Structure 1
């Protein structure tokens, strides 16, 4: 492309000219000659370096940290591009199972000036509307509709400028035809949220997404940098297309009112489906007795409670630790985060390494939202790059989760510092999400010329 048709010939011209320039014997003039050559050729050298990335925009956006990947391809000052008034944003969630990601997207896109949002969702679970009703937003939710009517809504006017798919793997399958209609009959830009990066090799959703890619009207959002990296490096490389696209890292966080009080017990929290394929309960139950014994040694009249916040078929608990295991089942989201906010530590206890390379766990953002420090090792921090080290309990090499907790349970002052670090990190991330969304939407507006279309 640009690099082959323009830049390299120019560089060759300067190289030839420099070689044929006569050598001046006086040192002063030699220095002047060198300065002139560097000064005149440097812009072309920089252009060469810059253009070498143009063929690979879809790669370059993922290789930097999540804070930086939003400006890599911005070709204009963001503040100079006006957005439509109103800016119409449609948020879709057709599975009924990713309420928290939808809430995070509503909060992030709700920061857009002059925006108005319409939600299409299958259902509202566990009082999630109570949380979203407390968001402070520039772009209010104008209406909430069932995802079942989305295929009819695309035939109504006005059509959206922005479409946000909460679970893109499912939404593009379930709503393939209306999404194709929008592509053909509007200038809408799609933000496609990826949950399982390894599910994007083939399928109906991949076919539909690639149609948006060919038109240059889609950004992929991965819920952590490692899912974006896997998607770009190991999945998209199997597509028979080299059309560049943007893949962004998006940590799904939203604000919630939290209690300030601490628990009277040493609460260790695990969340999610009770299935043993999701969490390594055997290892956790085996080591819980060590933590109980260590707390008793401190003699601080504290007890240990392992709180399993989730749903499904309960794992079998050994009799010796039964009094220290609590099942918090099917809580509303306000109650869930209230309970989680008092946790001394959140235990990921992943049963599979998939959560570290190709899919993102909801445990990590939920812990930050609640202000509860996660028990982490270096590999987890390398995957969830938005998680600051000062906000986690660090495991030592070779430790199990419960060996680490037995070492850490007496550090109550350190817990308070980490709890505050979690809350500050969550606040910073949510503000950054809104800034990033503004940049992404502004870039889409510049490309799609929404101002001219309205």
Structure 2
């Protein structure tokens, strides 16, 4: 019978016809299709040929459709087609009769790939991509006092800009404390505008080792034109002078949404009827709800609340809701030297102290306690200014006048003493003025001598951070009592004073952080505009 050879011939002719048809359809690809030899692997295997599709032709299906009979011994013909160019890529899928295979985009499923007689060229390993080394961050160079240069665009994106202003030429210890506390605010940058900084306060600022403190400028150089940055926060160290002497600049910053922290020193000058007109200058800030008043002690705050606020317009009296106490203290490194000495701070005027009585008592200590070394070694430091009182010859070599000290030396001498005797000029330091001697004792870590009235007035003090003076004791009686104590007990009291200083510093920092979060009036807080270029430092 010639039927089977005839069927075989028909199958071959059909395959050739299909091959030619496919060639015409894919002619646009310049790469002609090729037929895999009939010795290729069975349909159950898959060959990975990069850049090609597989077209499977099942002769059994053709036969079942009565086009021709079963072709034997080769049932399936594989044709390799070139990959079409984008966007003409298509998915060529086989149905159930084709072994459920799917070839998408020229890449067969990885799990189905096996080694066959048709071996594709191995793919070249991908070149190793080397991650570039990050460029080292070059910190801006500080000057001898630790100040940074001007911040350029991009160097400090979207900082909280804080202007520290002191336009009276005093109160260095106050602005140093403000700087230390507010510099702890994350992403803050502090600009200093100072009128006349004294006694090398910059050495103290350098010891803070702050990375966000700019070089100082003269307060009168604050022009705030389009090249100047605008502050989010203004720290007015001596608010009485800052809001009046810099009134044009202050008004400009108020109009740009700045927030003011107004530090009050002269509580009795803020009356409505006062000739100083401080109340008039602060009214726009109160009405804009952009001011917090800072008091250096609780007693000055109470004075304004009770004696001053009733004179203000009713619409401004809610300002008391933003009355806060900020104690002007900061960290310093105490001296390692221990000296059997006590210090008096203040003006040497005899109206403040009876120096003759003090010197007589001093002389008596040596005579009355010849067997006690601490009385024989006692020294006295008079830290202040003014006309020197006459010192008896027998104690002349143990009384030292320390005048015009830089702040670093001032705190060093205080820290070596076991007690500080303040010289309040008047009783006003107990109701409306804040003495600098009380915070100085905390900063230096030397307990101040004072009656309970001082403890009640300066309520940030504690009994174990000062020498409490009895009602029937004068200053020298307290000194004599301390000299009777052991060195261990004296050192323990000084340690408690220094610990209290750290507590108050931490409280200041927490207050600054809390206040900064509460301020809603921010300028340029979108992150789109960092500090502007173009402005230069002056000093």
Q: TM-score range by the shorter chain?
A: 0.7 to 0.9
- Residue 252 of structure 1 corresponds to 328
Structure with the bigger RCO (C-alpha within 8 Å, sep 6+) is: 1
- Residue 191 of structure 2 corresponds to 118
More helix by share: 1
Match of 1:93 among 163, 166, 170: 166
- Residue 102 of structure 1 corresponds to 175
Please say if residues 391 and 421 of structure 1, whose CA atoms lie closer than 8 Å, have aligned partners that are also in contact: yes
The answer on 1:444 being equivalent to 2:519 is: yes
Alignment of 1:338-353 (within 5 A): 338-353=412-427
Alignment of 1:416-435 (within 5 A): 416-435=491-510
Query: How far did 1:206 drift?
Result: 2.2
Please say if residues 368 and 426 of structure 1, whose CA atoms lie closer than 8 Å, have aligned partners that are also in contact: yes
The more displaced of 321-330 and 287-296 is 287-296
Alignment of 1:248-287 (within 5 A): 248-263=324-339, 266-276=340-350, 281=355, 284-285=358-359, 287=361
- Residue 153 of structure 1 corresponds to 224
Please say if residues 269 and 278 of structure 2, whose CA atoms lie closer than 8 Å, have aligned partners that are also in contact: no
TM-score, length basis structure 2: 0.63
Mapped to 2, the partners of 1:339 and 1:378 lie a distance apart of: 26
Alignment of 1:32-431 (within 5 A): 85-137=158-210, 140-150=212-222, 152-153=223-224, 156-183=227-254, 185-201=255-271, 202=274, 203-243=276-316, 244-245=318-319, 246-263=322-339, 266-276=340-350, 281=355, 284-285=358-359, 287-293=361-367, 296=370, 298-300=372-374, 302-318=376-392, 321-411=395-485, 412-431=487-506
Query: How far did 1:293 drift?
Result: 4.4
Please say if residues 176 and 205 of structure 1, whose CA atoms lie closer than 8 Å, have aligned partners that are also in contact: no
Mapped to 1, the partners of 2:405 and 2:257 lie a distance apart of: 41
Secondary structure of the residue that 1:269 maps to in structure 2? strand
Change (3 A) 1:300 1:283: closer
Q: Which runs of 5+ in 1 are unaligned?
A: 1-83
Tell me the alpha carbon deviations over residues 21-49 of structure 1, each in whole angstroms, 9 at most, x when there is no partner.
xxxxxxxxxxxxxxxxxxxxxxxxxxxxx
TM-score, length basis structure 1: 0.75
Look at both structures and tell me which one has the larger radius of gyration over its CA atoms: 2
Q: CA RMSD in A?
A: 2.4
Please say if residues 227 and 357 of structure 1, whose CA atoms lie closer than 8 Å, have aligned partners that are also in contact: yes
Q: Number of residue pairs matched? A: 365
Tell me the alpha carbon deviations over residues 205-247 of structure 1, each in whole angstroms, 9 at most, x when there is no partner.
2211122112111111111111111122111222223421211
Please say if residues 365 and 375 of structure 2, whose CA atoms lie closer than 8 Å, have aligned partners that are also in contact: no
